[in-house]
Chain A
Amino acid sequence: MGKSSRRRLLAPIALLGVAALALVGCTESGPGTSSSVKGQTVKISGGITGSEADALNTTFDKFTKDTGIKVVYTGDKSFEGNIVTKVNGGSAPDIAIVPQPGLLKTLVGTGQVVKPDKTVTDNVSKYWSKAWKPYGTIDGTFYAAPMLANVKGYIWYSPAKFKEWGVTVPKTWDELLALTKTIQAKTGSAPWCAGFSSGDASGWPGTDWIEDLVLRQSGPDVYDQWVAGKVKFTDQPIKDAFDALGSILLNPSYVNAGFGDVKSINSTAFADVAAKVADGTCPMTHQASFLSSNFLTVQTKDGKVPTVAPDGDVYAFILPGTTAGASSVEAGGEFVAAFSDSAAVQKVQEFMSTPEFADARVKLGGVISANNGADPTLASSQFLTDAMKTLQDPKTVARFDASDLMPATVGSGSFWKGMVNWIDGTPTDQVLSAIQAGYQN
């Protein structure tokens, strides 16, 4: 090998070495730790995406102006899985917005979630009803304050059509069944529509139905025991809920308005039912308060954007209990967990637990908060104001979404799959024991 060729060989190696040095050099330009929080950036990640993510970023505008702390929120649709990988790999965000208490438990288990300071703890005791704090508490230690909320268990309907048929909003479950029968008789077609399809999470709209019915039929105590695993899926209260739901969703003459037969429930995307409710093909559907945002992008029969109002094109009532006036609702929501104890992160966490944050976000539309200090009249529609008042009402018995509280193998595993199989025609008993078997995984 000649001298020149050796030099030729050395040149690329030297270049590689320089490049490697440059790469390492880049890495040391991170921001230094300064005592002042001004100018610092706090990174938040969560599963909220789309226009709601834009609104969340906007919510911090005034806070940034006041404190000088920049807040950047990044949404990720696969957040639930990716955050665990990121935290385990030592690359956690400053703050995570966790949608499920079960996931919060997993994250706390990594030992990297930082306890919030006293102001946050006090804010949660002061502004949220007693039911909420335990959901952010893992093994007796409080870790995460609730952020926003949504109310599950709404029945969406068309007030105009109800008026046309001369029917009113039912006050009990039996009245609801009677109403179903009346509508079926008057229109000759199915009174209900439902959609369980949601990609990997298909089946979850069905779990909400079951949870609502368990909470209303058997009460909050049985519900809590069910969440804790003490009441089994194969026990009578849960079976009753499935039977009650079956009287609607498994009845071929009651479903699936606008889509097809009973089995079409599984092939219908959960968000697609909004369009059918809006154009009048589907008289009633069961979905959480978030569906109000889906009505912004659909049309009525006349090609207009439907008005969500008690006398408008669409509105919703809370799924009635077995007796009139019973007010128990199922709620969902997110929790704010921090992975850093820097002053800036703590400031942001404090801000997110205040009524000011809730007000700022609620004002931007589409969401509600369970924060008692927040002003429900700021909500973007009459419907959301009502939903928020329901949550803030001290008389309301609120319980968190059960499937979000159960272990992942059941809550986002066998329970979801079970609902899909149940619609497909698997007998109830078989479905229930299959869901219960998820606890063994």
Chain B
Amino acid sequence: MLTENNTMRITQIVNIHTESPSVKTYTFVDKLCSTARPGQFLMLWIPGIDEIPLSIMGTTNDLVSVAVKAVGDATRHLHNLEAGATIGVRGPFGTSFTENTGRVLLIGGGTGIAPLLFLAKRLQPKATHLAFVEGAKTKTELLFVSELGGVCQEQNLITTTDDGTAGLQCLVTQPLANLLDKESFDMVYTCGPERMVKKIFDLAEQHKLPLEASLERLMRCGIGLCGSCMLGKYRVCRDGPVFTSTQLREVKDELGISKIGFDGSRIPI
């Protein structure tokens, strides 16, 4: 229970990059988190404000990056910080994606793209074919498009927007059915809102394709003690955040349907 990973390290933000009107990426030095595998997460402490779970989006030497969307008090506060600001970090925590060497498909939305970009970079030299479907509300919120185009070749990157300002005008799940009918894949990877993951899981199941999904839940302790992130019998922070199709089948009555709220009651998603 007492691990080096769970000890809070104090560090400074060395770089902040604006990715979209609502998303910024933050880079800081942390040796332990720089050993993270795609899919793992860290807990980031904004002193005096909050501590939030974030998927790790990349590591270089001792540097670690995370993508943060301004959605609540903590993330808005983080958006107001400048390079040099002091933060606390613990992690890396949780399970990671396996690295399939065959034909792989990555699909995600919002900041769920961050760990998938991390994964895509790892898969690029290994996988025989790499396709990526990315969705966002509008063109300016499509994240890391040029990087993804570089990793998986332009023709294998499909983008969708709710308002049609870029790519196809539809939900990210829409081109998936078509793609799965047309092409064969060995593995589907996803990360994003749970209702989206649920749809993708259902599609993968119909096509008898193995899936690995990274899930997001209310997280407090991050180490499997507090029970806030329970998904059926699983603790998302400890048994996840990356789950396989086999595991998701066991919790399909809850996946995308209900979660544990701040007061410990079951609430709809």
A binds B: no
